[in-house]
Structure 1
């Protein structure tokens, strides 16, 4: 799987956090216990700490082009 880095964060229309990746793709990081437990995403400091970290982009692994994704 191709590795990108997290270059920033934004929120979607439902206020879920979305990682913006260096490859041009995006990835949701939801905290919805018990299915998805990512309490760190709610903390601004912990989100900032993830910027610059490697991230295995599933879209890149599938050969997806950023231009044909709805980001």
Structure 2
């Protein structure tokens, strides 16, 4: 899942970490032939990479960024009140994450770009990264809601 580089920092061992717009941080190492990032050694070249895209495996696995905090929850929907917009592909805005929670019944959760197509039962949830198309389909009687979360700012 490509994400935008916001900046760089070093860990305690002096290894480079990129801060990404999704809220994740990712180690980046220049170790050819496994990883080829020669620009890490030059401050100006690193700075020129701010705004560029780099892969975020954590987004691809649906992992929330550390410290993500809830800021809003939708109403509880059932199979009759589930909005049409949630039944067709849509995205969550940049900087926000979602957690689909099934309170009762069963729900199909589909996220095509990440090859996710799974059935969620009562008590289960699915994580939605920012800007990734997804939709839900009720599988009979269901009660569900969506919780929205924000990752800490880039300086946190």
TM-score where L is the length of structure 1:
0.79
Structure richer in strand, relative to its length:
2
3-state DSSP of counterpart to 2:5: strand
Count of matched residue pairs: 67
Q: Which has the higher contact order (CA 8 A, sep 6+)?
A: 1
Structure 2 CA distance, aligned partners of 1:36 and 1:58? Answer: 15
Unmatched segments (≥5 aa) in structure 2: 68-156
> What root-mean-square deviation, in Å, do the aligned CA atoms of Structure 1 and Structure 2 show?
1.8
Alignment match, 2:65: 66
Indicate the structure (1 or 2) with the bigger Cα radius of gyration: 2
2:16/2:29 contact within 8 Å kept: yes
* Runs of at least 4 residues off by over 6 Å: none
Alignment match, 2:47: 48
How has the CA–CA distance of structure 1 residues 24 and 45 changed in structure 2, closer, same or farther, with 3 Å as cutoff? same
Unmatched segments (≥5 aa) in structure 1: none
